[in-house]
Structure 1
Amino acid sequence: MTSLRLPATASANVTTRAAALTGPLPAAPRRTRMVTLDLMRGYYVGVLAAVHLDYLPSLLGLFDGRGSLLVSEAENFFLISGLLVGMLRRRDLERHGPLRMARNAWKRAGQLYVLAVSLTLLFTVIGRLAVAHGVSNVKVGLDSDSSPMALLANTLTLRYTYGWADFLTFYVPMFLIAPLTVWLLSRRLAPVVVLLAYAGFVLPSHYDTSFFSPFLQWGVYFFLGTIAGYHWDDLRRLVGRLSPAVRRALCTGLVVGTVLLYLVGMLLLFHPELIVDSDTYNHLFQNNRLGLLRPFAAPVSFAGTFLLVRKYEEPIARTVGRLLLPFGRSSLYVYVAQSFFVFLIPFVVGPSGFWENTVFDVSVIAVTWFAVRTRFLAFLIPG
């Protein structure tokens, strides 16, 4: 296997639509790689292991937010997935037509479906065996009672998912719908996609959407990313037509907004007494990650982070990029590998003190890096 990608994306090798949002338009297109996005998704997928392990207090826990900030790593992870889908499926549509575009999207959906079902069954078997042998720290949500046939049926229909790779299940319907989304975008119906995505996000807060809730919750970020990816060149041209002063103000505003979202989130994370009785805050930002303003905050955070990483891309790539780039370029592999480590570690050892927990976090990331280098789980993961 020569290339591994974000769950649900094809290769990150794209045309010069991958250049920086505010950079000059190139005279002659050439194929390049979005190093900035590789660095970003490398961080997002790399920190997921520590977030899922959730052993606090720890050094990483002091700044990663453990998925509890105003914008989480997972939300930006879905945004990047959708962005690359928008870029690549537009290329398919323009070069080969709608049938090839749909076939490529549905092929990826099929690959992720097989992987998600297999992992759910595998983690369920491991979980049941662990419980039978007296292990108590098994991830919640385990189906320990259903018959084999009922378990298989629920897993095949995606009504049951288990383990720390459950996002793969959410990606499957997104990829099934991606061709329709790209077709709507090609008809200049981006506002329709935005409205449908936001409407879907709001539904679980007001109606019992049960089986569809995770798809609706995470789909808004994926499809907002798809819109941005499809119109990447258009956005660059639009920004390029702005005066230098306006463009500078826009970029500064996005970066400042990103920093403020992070700082406010960290303040409230460490001082929950400030909002413990605030129904308004819960309704707007929390509510089990269904706060109404979260889908508006996430694009700001993503854009500001992109601009910051793009500006300092070279020094980042030379330093922490040695870890982040392999993660970003093999993000599906990393995501699956860390799901095994995070699932199994609580069987052996639980949270402890600050330095012990820090060692656990760093160890999972280090072992995941080793897994990337050796590819010893490659047989499980589609290319």
Structure 2
Amino acid sequence: MTTMLQPAVATGTTTAPPVKKKRTRLVTLDLMRGYYVGVLAAIHLNYVPSLLGLVDGRGELLVSEAEGFFMISGLLVGMLRRRDLERYGIVKMTLSSWKRAAQLYIVAVPLTLLFTFIARTALGHGHTQVKGSLDQRSDWPHLLENSLNLSYTYGWADFLTYYVPMFLVAPAIVWLLSRKLWPVVLVLAYFGYWETTHINTGYYRPFLQWGVYFFIGAAAGYHWDDLRGLMARLSPSWRRRLRGGLMCAAIVLYAIGLLFLFKRGLIAHSATYTDLFGDNRLGVLRPLAAPISVAGTYFLVRKFEKPLARTIGKVIIPFGRSSLYVYVAQSFVVFLTPLVFGRQGFLLNTLYDFAIMALIWVGVRVRFLAFLIPRA
């Protein structure tokens, strides 16, 4: 993302050169996005018990890594599309967003067909450890039709098909945000999510379920500089309280999620928990908890950004900056691994998790077949 410049400051008869704003917030987002996409392989593989399985929640915490990933994706879209709107106008902004949708579509549909072919072939040779939701009955013309209209998706890269309609709708969302109608955006996004918990939204369910996080992020990204300005206007003590409160809230949400994960008896028969946070990740409070968790995590990561960037950042920052490549690469590794190696004990499962992450990291550095995948 292009660094914004501060205006020159007049001092008598001379003009001070423009000063670049710090870009530390972008490194923070790279760290967060890199972690979210980096652990997806282990989460999707779900070989537990394992070391990562003790901390990542396998998608079952009050706020999952996937929700955080969608939110940061939306945040970056909000930033970039606002820049496009202000610099080039609504037509160029719309075309940029739709071009991105087309790029993802071109990757997503062939992946669905490829994974379907691999799974059907594996089943035909007696391998039963294939991902669920496989269409085993439709002939290939019907599979092609259903893949093209996105009513059928298969494999571990299915999020790509959810992003396509999000990028198609994004220009309208940015236009609403430019008219200071962010409450409308948030209400519509949450209402769409709420519908998935109360009525059968069928074909639109994945888009509505994940779109709420994307569009909350887009609203925050569009108003990123405004939010930073609001923070700057607070007194130092109130800034510390707000940051501290959000960081504590993120830690509490994470801790409660881990408690319920390892002490399932506490929520095993709780209809209240299911309605609020469970229900196959469709609990009505999840879209409200996610922004708190992501904001608190942002301030935590930013607080320790330098040591994180010097250590684990060597791995996860490249993941964050090539998130689409990492996502597609992990989809192949996770899909094929069960056909070769089954779930084992703690040590071997941990080895699998880290070996997969190392393999993907090497792929990022080598950029193998990266020309087939659009930049993140």
Range of TM-score over shorter length: over 0.9
2:373 matched to 1:381? yes
Structure 1: how far apart are the matches of 2:184 and 2:119?
Answer: 43
Partner of 1:313: 305
Structure label with greater radius of gyration: 2
Letter in 1 for 2:161: T
Partner of 2:212: 220
Match of 2:201 among 192, 209, 226: 209
Structure 2: how far apart are the matches of 1:16 and 1:236?
Answer: 15
CA shift for structure 1 position 248? 1.1
Aligned length: 363
Alignment gaps of 5+ in structure 1: 1-11, 18-26
Is the CA contact 1:15–1:31 (under 8 Å) kept in the aligned structure 2?
no
Residues 188-267 of structure 1 aligned to structure 2 (within 5 Å): 188-267=180-259
Letter in 2 for 1:357: N
Match of 2:274 among 274, 282, 285: 282
Structure 2: how far apart are the matches of 1:133 and 1:262?
Answer: 42
CA shift for structure 1 position 13? 4.4
Cα deviation 1:320-344 (Å, max 9, x = unaligned): 0000111111110000001000000
Structure 1: how far apart are the matches of 2:85 and 2:330?
Answer: 34
CA shift for structure 1 position 32? 4.2
Residues 1:13 and 1:168: Cα distance change in structure 2 (over 3 Å): farther
CA shift for structure 1 position 15? 3.1
Partner of 1:8: none
Structure 2: how far apart are the matches of 1:381 and 1:122?
Answer: 15
Partner of 1:172: 164
Match of 1:183 among 175, 179, 202: 175
Post-superposition, which runs of at least 4 consecutive aligned residues in structure 1 deviate over 4 A?
Answer: 29-33
Structure 2: how far apart are the matches of 1:379 and 1:53?
Answer: 26
Residues 20-39 of structure 1 aligned to structure 2 (within 5 Å): 28-29=19-20, 32=23, 34-39=26-31
Letter in 2 for 1:377: L
Structure 1: how far apart are the matches of 2:363 and 2:290?
Answer: 30
Is the CA contact 2:3–2:20 (under 8 Å) kept in the aligned structure 1?
no
Match of 1:326 among 318, 323, 330: 318
Cα deviation 1:148-173 (Å, max 9, x = unaligned): 11000000000000000000000000
Letter in 2 for 1:131: L
CA shift for structure 1 position 209? 0.3
* Mean Cα deviation higher: 64-73 or 371-380: 371-380
CA shift for structure 1 position 382? 2.0
Letter in 2 for 1:313: E
Partner of 1:56: 48
Is the CA contact 1:13–1:31 (under 8 Å) kept in the aligned structure 2?
no
CA shift for structure 1 position 144? 1.4
Cα deviation 1:10-55 (Å, max 9, x = unaligned): xx445379xxxxxxxxx74458471100011110000000000000
Structure 1: how far apart are the matches of 2:355 and 2:183?
Answer: 45
Is the CA contact 2:197–2:284 (under 8 Å) kept in the aligned structure 1?
no
Partner of 1:9: none
Match of 1:85 among 77, 83, 87: 77
Is the CA contact 1:14–1:88 (under 8 Å) kept in the aligned structure 2?
no
Is the CA contact 1:16–1:31 (under 8 Å) kept in the aligned structure 2?
no
Partner of 1:368: 360
Match of 2:292 among 297, 300, 310: 300
Residues 1:145 and 1:13: Cα distance change in structure 2 (over 3 Å): farther
Structure 1: how far apart are the matches of 2:183 and 2:124?
Answer: 52
Letter in 2 for 1:60: L
Partner of 1:15: 4
Letter in 2 for 1:280: T
Structure 2: how far apart are the matches of 1:276 and 1:217?
Answer: 24
Is the CA contact 2:36–2:66 (under 8 Å) kept in the aligned structure 1?
yes
Match of 1:271 among 263, 286, 299: 263
Partner of 2:11: none
Residues 1:254 and 1:16: Cα distance change in structure 2 (over 3 Å): farther
Structure 2: how far apart are the matches of 1:358 and 1:32?
Answer: 35
Structure 2: how far apart are the matches of 1:14 and 1:127?
Answer: 45
Alignment gaps of 5+ in structure 2: 7-17
Partner of 1:136: 128
Letter in 2 for 1:41: R
Cα deviation 1:77-112 (Å, max 9, x = unaligned): 000000000000000000000000000000000000
Letter in 2 for 1:270: F
SS of equivalent to 2:152: coil
The RMSD of aligned alpha carbons is 1.3
Cα deviation 1:238-268 (Å, max 9, x = unaligned): 1111111111111111000000000000000
Structure 1: how far apart are the matches of 2:175 and 2:19?
Answer: 27
2:67 matched to 1:65? no
Structure 1: how far apart are the matches of 2:170 and 2:201?
Answer: 21
Identity of aligned residues (%): 62
Match of 2:107 among 99, 108, 115: 115
Structure 2: how far apart are the matches of 1:31 and 1:320?
Answer: 22
